[in-house]
Every structure is written in C-alpha cells, then in structure tokens.
Amino acid sequence: MTTGNRTPLRPHTAPGEKRGNTTWVSCPSCKEWFHTTEDLIARGTIALHCPHCHHEFLPEKSPRLIVA
Ligand SMILES: [Zn+2]
C-alpha cells in the first residue's frame, strides 16, 4: 500500500508494532535524512524541524517519506 509520498518498508506490520515506528523524512531544503515519528506525520499540520539545516516544513513538503 502506497499513499502519497510514503514508502512502507514492511507491507505487513505485526500487531503491537504500531508504536515506536520510525519514520524517515528527507529535508526539502538540504536533502538530508532525519527521523521523526509517524504520529507527527499523521497529523500533517505540525512542522518538522530539520536538524541539519534547521529548515522547518510540513510533512507534505518532504520529497520523500519512509515509514519503517
Ligand atoms: Zn535540512
């Protein structure tokens, strides 16, 4: 299942693994990767903060999201 720019690494997630998932996002400014929580992504209205260049952007602005 692929929705938008999300790329699920594991199509079948075992029950109980919903919490603690790591979501990797690519910064639209410096293209570096950093991790956030899927919860933040799911809300969609909270700006992510890139630790590399300190750019702030909404999840939808990320060129790529990987939900691990
Ligand atoms: Zn950045």
In tens, the pLDDT along 33-57 reads 999 988 888 899 999 999 999 999 9
Let me know if residue 58 belongs to a domain: yes
Nearest-angstrom CA–CA distance, 57 and 37: 15
Ligand 1 centroid to residue 26 C-alpha, Å? 8
Q: pLDDT of 52-62, one tens digit each?
A: 999 999 999 99
Global confidence as pTM? 0.66
Ligand 1 centroid to residue 4 C-alpha, Å? 21
Let me know if residue 49 belongs to a domain: yes
List helix spans (H) across the chain: 38-43
Ligand 1 centroid to residue 11 C-alpha, Å? 28
Determine the number of helices (DSSP H) and then strands (DSSP E) in the chain: 1, 6
**Domain boundaries, position 32:** 21-67
Structural domains counted in the chain: 1
List the one residue out of 9, 1, 59, 12 whose CA is nearest residue 34.
59
Nearest-angstrom CA–CA distance, 42 and 66: 13
Instruction: At 15, list the tokens.
Output: 């029950």
